[in-house]
Amino acid sequence: MEASDGGEPLAAPIPDDRAADPDSAAPELGRLNRDYSIPGVDPGDSDPYRWHTGRKRDHGGEDSIEVIDLVKQFGKTRIINGLNLGLPEDQVSMVLGPSGTGKSVLIKLIVGLLYPDAGDILVHGESVPSMTDDELFDMRKKFGLLFQDGALFGSMNIYDNTAFPLRQHTDKSEDEISEICNQRLAEVGLAEAHYKMPNELSGGMRKRAGFARALVLDPAIVFFDEPDSGLDPVRTALLCELIREIHEEHGGCYMVISHDLATARRIADFIAVLWKGRIVESGPSEELFDSPNDFVRQFLNAEVVGPLAMD
């Protein structure tokens, strides 16, 4: 379906040679279609990265997270293939892309739950894959993570769920823990829900409780794995407003994984578009929504005609 509205073929951007070569990131790991495959890449496609300029538009600040030539493969299926990305400090960044392109895998690689087959990840200048277990444990204290369903412990009430990271990772007294938990639960609108169990909450309330728990260690970086998943449009808008308000108050690097365009328009300062295991283009959100790149324009405007087809 690579045709314009008038039926003419789309004009692909001209990437640099390195961005266009599927095997440039880790040639020692083999060749595409011989030693590995990439979801969404047709074996007959000789130029799968013709839309990937790899361009990163200037966001005017420093990067909290740098991803460099990252490769991750499961068996013979390569999910991440030479991914390069910088996520800015003190901004809400969104990684957008079609389903199955490696967005959730990227989070797991950044936090050290998975190890890359090649490449590097720097968090505040420190290499995550090179860390010892103890160093990795300490680094994760910088992180907050909101999972798709909140990932609350079903046997604990909301207060104890929120207090869990503080009890596990700090020496704070119960009075100090109570003060922090009360503050965070109030911030997310759950001040009256301390003793409710997760199964007594709506989906939106569980996500807000998970958000409160993600904030109790005052993380420098917060990850959101499809926070809008399973929510109706109104509750999605309310959650987006909450994320925006909390970020404006506390700052830090927020990384949101999603494919919801309404969420992107509401909260994103910076957008990276991921497809076929690589970043197509990244930069300030207002610039990405006006990008001349045919794939970026198609995806961010939900257009039917463009490089992305149903298959």
pLDDT at 8 over 80: no
β-pairing, 63-74 vs 118-123, is antiparallel
**Model confidence pLDDT, tens digit, residues 273-286:** 999 999 999 999 99
pLDDT of residue 311: 60
Q: What is the mean pLDDT of residues 206-216?
A: 89
Tell me the two tokens of residue 26: 């880790």
Nearest CA-CA partner of 289 in 259, 264, 311, 256: 264
Q: How many angstroms separate the CA atoms of 115 and 127, rounded?
A: 12
Instruction: Report pLDDT for 203.
Output: 82
Q: Quote the pTM value.
A: 0.85
The single residue listed with the structure tokens 């907050």 is 144
Of 302, 272, 306, 265, the closest CA to residue 286 belongs to 265
> Which residues in 258-293 are b (16+ Cβ under 10 Å) and which e?
bbbbebbebbbbbbbbbbbbbbbbbbbbeebbebeb
Tell me the backbone φ, ψ of residue 70, rounded to 5 degrees. -75, 135
Residue 7 Rama label (left phi>0; alpha psi -120 to 50; beta): left
Q: Tell me the pLDDT band of 265, cut-offs 50, 70 and 90.
A: very high
Question: What pLDDT shows up at residue 1?
Answer: 41
pLDDT digits (tens, 9 = 90+) for 97-153: 888 888 989 999 999 999 999 999 999 999 999 999 999 988 998 899 887 776 889
| Residue the block writes with tokens 């074996």 | 43
Least confident of 38-42, 56-60, 107-111, 299-303: 56-60
What percentage of residues in the chain have a pLDDT greater than 70? Answer: 92
% of the chain surpassing 90 pLDDT: 52
The 10s digit of each residue's pLDDT in 150-209 is 688 989 999 999 999 999 988 999 999 999 999 999 988 898 889 999 999 888 888 889
Phi, psi of 123 (to 5 degrees): -115, 115
